[in-house]
Amino acid sequence: MGILNWFAKSAPAVRRLPAGSFTVDRHGNLMTTTVGSEYPQWLLDDTARVVLSLFREARAARMPLTGLDLNFAGLHIAAREMQGGAIIFLSPQNLFAPLLSAESGRA
Amino acid sequence: METRDKILVLDDEGDWLDVCREFLTLLPGKPDIRTVSSGMSALSLLDAEPFRLLLCDLKMPRMDGLQVLSIVRRRFPELRTVALTGFSDEDFRSRAYALGVDMFWLKSDMQRNPQMFLECIESLLGQEDGVGVRDDQGKNLLDVIRMELALRNSSVLRITSGKQVAQIWIKDGQLIDAQVEDADGEVAFGRLLKWKSTAFESLPAEPAHVQTIAKSLDALLLESVQTVKKTDYATPAQVEEQTKFITRLTAVAYEGAEFVATVPAQKQDTAKGWGIKDVDRLAAWVRLAEKSAQRLGEEFNSGPLTHIVGHSLERSLLLVRGNGRTFAIGWPPEADPRRLFEQSINLAETWAS
């Protein structure tokens, strides 16, 4: 039986792309989330940090933004500014869900 | 005694005539503005009354603007002409300038830069006939050349402007050579067209003179007009750059973008902007956004970054990659969000090509 366990350990884990939304305050602290708990929180924290930093730097560049969409081949991240914090939507893209890209509309 | 300049506006759209009238009443000279909606009416009115300036739409039913301008050019050589069109078509622009119009404006540019438009009109109205204006002198000289060509004459025209002397050789109604100082052929003719205050005399023909110009007069004029607003002797590289510049701005106007900035990946390479003042700040943000997004993409394992969209009440900002650079394109709030990605890609491709 030991030899079967040995084979089982070698299978790589496949992580699904996250789906759902979460809100963060102005300091990037996670307030609420609908993203599955199996997903590591540090990734959500990092996403929030990037989004808040881009909002902040856009203001500094005199190009203030209220919404931001990051479009990847497999994932669409849409962020909307909320009183200094943000609400962030994570939508996996697949063949049955056309790329949202600019079609997602403005804030 | 009537001293106000008279301006005639020709367009088949009544609303646009109203817009023009409103614009032109802002001119300090308070010109007398008349409007007509057909080429025939315009020609009748020009026959009946002296006008200083004609603003002519190009796209009209029956007699189009180019036909009107071609007739006006022959019948009213003193009349200033401005071609207006809603279509950013290079062919229209070239043909209008070949007909000798003083200015060519896109209607969208006119609405976007009303002040500049009015200044241009004011400048045209302020020009005195035949005094120090390149176009006027060019037309006088051109009239003589055209006449020689039309009559299929053979002659040599000696042209002087101050201490400068030039010669043009015409054989059997064809322009065969020109000489100005150290230049000859097409280059010399191009320079000659920029001379001011020219005087000329006709010399006996030289049938044995060697032909160096093969192009038609219209082709030479077209080339000259396309470079007239640049430095007098633009290098081919400058001409190419200018052509690119016009093509790009036309693309921006056509797609309806507010501004375009090109941001190279390397920080030490300069970012360039059209329609935006502080391109360096924007470029810094664009680099940050791309770098941060790419890092996030790697963490999520979500595939390559395709594009980034920023929204605000004032505009939408799209970042797309092309030709080794990132294009940051600003779109007005009324732009259709469903088409922005496609439009941005189109604009970036035109720009890069």
According to the model, what pLDDT value does residue B284 have? 92
* Cβ contact, residue pair A67, B317, below 8 Å: no
Q: Which residue has the tokens 């590289």?
A: B237
Residues B54 and B153 in one domain: no
Cα distance between residue B110 and residue B87, in whole Å: 13
Nearest to A105 among B296, B313, B337 (CB): B337
- With beta carbons under 8 A apart, name residues in chain B contacting A62: 278, 281
Q: How far, in Å, CA of A48 to CA of A35, rounded?
A: 13
Inter-chain residue contact A46 with B296, CB threshold 8 Å: yes
Q: State residue A39's pLDDT score.
A: 84
Over residues A22-64, the pLDDT tens digits come to: 999 999 999 999 998 888 899 999 999 999 999 999 999 888 9
Ordered by where they begin, the domains of chain A are 17-97 (3.30.450.30)
- Please indicate, yes or no, whether residues B220 and B271 belong to a single structural domain of this protein: no
Residues in A touching B339 (Cβ below 8 Å): 102
Distance from CA of A3 to the nearest CA of B (A): 32
Q: Which DSSP helix (H) or strand (E) runs through A78?
A: strand A75-82
Instruction: Say if CB B84 and CB B56 are below 8 A apart.
Output: yes
> Is the residue at B170 inside a domain?
yes
What pLDDT shows up at residue B61? 73
B300: nearest CB among A43, A57, A66: A43
Residue, of A5 and B185, whose pLDDT is higher? B185
Residue A21: which H helix or E strand, with range?
strand A20-24
Q: d(Cα B341, Cα B321) in Å, to the nearest integer?
A: 11
Q: Locate tokens 């970012």: which residue?
A: B271
What CATH number is attached to the domain comprising B344?
3.30.450.30
**Structural domain ending residue among the three candidates B75, B105, B126:** B126
* Inside any domain, residue B331: yes
Position B109 in a domain: yes
> Could you tell me if B210 and B170 lie in one domain?
yes
Chain A residues with beta carbon closer than 8 angstroms to that of B311: 65-69, 106-107
Beta carbons of A71 and B307 less than 8 Å apart: yes
A–B CB contacts, 8 A cutoff, strictly below: 118
Asked whether residue B177 is domain-assigned, the answer is yes
Q: How far apart are CA B19 and CA B101, in angstroms?
A: 22
3-state secondary structure chain B: CCCCCEEEEECCCHHHHHHHHHHHCCCCCCCEEEEECCHHHHHHHHHHCCCCEEEEECCCCCCCHHHHHHHHHHHCCCCEEEEEECCCCHHHHHHHHHCCCCEEEEHHHHHHCHHHHHHHHHHHHHCCCCCCCHHHHHHHHHHHHHHHHHCCCCEEEEEEECCEEEEEEEECCEEEEEEECCEEHHHHHHHHCCCCCCEEEEECCCCCCCCCCCCCHHHHHHHHHHHCCCCCCCCHHHHHHHHHHHHHHHHHHHHCCCEEEEEECCCCCCCEEECCCCHHHHHHHHHHHHHHHHHHHHHHCCCCEEEEEEECCCCEEEEEEECCEEEEEEECCCCCCCCHHHHHHHHHHHHHC
Provide the pLDDT for residue B132.
33
Q: Which of B300, B317, B340 sits opposite A63 (nearest CB)?
A: B317
The answer on B122 and B141 residing in a single domain is: no
Confidence (pLDDT) at B352: 74
Task: Quick: pLDDT tens for B228-250.
Answer: 444 445 567 766 665 666 666 66
- Asked if B318 contacts B309 with a C-beta cutoff of 8 angstroms, the reply is yes
Question: In terms of residue numbers, what domain contains B113?
Answer: 6-126
Cβ of A102 within 8 Å of Cβ of B300? The answer is: no
How far from B42 is each of B6, B45, B55, B246, CA to CA, in Å?
13, 5, 10, 31
The total number of structural domains in chain B stands at 3
To the nearest whole Å, the CA of A68 is away from the closest chain B CA by 4
Contacting A residues, span 27-86, partner chain B, CB-CB under 8 Å: 43, 46-47, 50, 53-54, 57-58, 60-75, 77
CA B67 to chain centre: 19
From first to last of the 353 residues of chain B, give the pLDDT tens digit. Answer: 457 889 999 998 888 888 888 888 888 888 899 998 888 788 878 888 889 999 998 888 766 788 788 778 777 878 888 888 887 776 777 777 777 788 888 888 887 778 888 888 887 887 554 333 333 344 467 767 776 776 677 888 888 777 778 889 988 888 899 988 778 888 888 888 777 666 767 777 888 888 889 888 777 777 766 554 444 455 677 666 656 666 666 666 667 788 889 999 887 788 888 777 778 899 999 999 999 999 999 999 888 999 999 999 888 999 999 878 999 999 988 888 888 998 898 888 877 77
> So what's the ipTM on this one?
0.80
Identify whether B64 is part of a domain: yes
Contacts of A88 (CB under 8 A, 6+ apart): A21, A22, A23, A24, A44, A47, A48, A51, A77, A78, A79
Q: Are residues B119 and B10 in the same domain?
A: yes
Q: Among B96, B33, B22, B26, which Cα is nearest to B59's? A: B96
* Residues B288, B336 share a domain: yes
B274 and B342, same domain (yes or no): yes
Cβ of A63 and B282 within 8 Å?
Answer: yes
pTM: 0.49
State the pLDDT at residue B72.
Answer: 81
With beta carbons under 8 A apart, name residues in chain B contacting A53.
288, 292
B45 falls within a domain: yes
**pLDDT bracket for residue A8 (50, 70, 90):** low
Q: Distance, in angstroms, between A100 CA and closest chain B CA?
A: 9
Let me know if residue B1 belongs to a domain: no
Q: Are residues B284 and B184 in the same domain?
A: no
Last residue of a domain, one of B66, B92, B126: B126
Q: Considering only the beta carbons, identify the residue of B285, B307, B341 that sits closest to A63.
A: B285
Nearest Cα residue in chain B from A106: B311
My answer on whether B181 and B114 are in the same domain is no
Residues B300, A17: C-beta atoms closer than 8 Å = yes
- pLDDT value at residue B129: 46
Identify whether B306 is part of a domain. Answer: yes
In a shared domain, residues B252 and B344: yes
**How far is B281 from B285, CA to CA, in rounded Å?**
6
Contact A72 B297 (CB under 8 A): yes
Whether residues B89 and B158 share a domain: the answer is no
- Supply the CATH number for residue B14's domain: 3.40.50.2300
Q: Is the pLDDT of residue A92 over 70?
A: yes
Whole-number pLDDT of residue B10: 92
Rounded CA gap, B47 and A54, in Å? 64
Query: Closest residue of B to A68, CA-based?
Result: B310
Residue A105 has pLDDT above 60, yes or no: no
Q: Of the candidates B330, B245, B264, B324, which has an alpha carbon nearest to the alpha carbon of residue A61?
A: B330
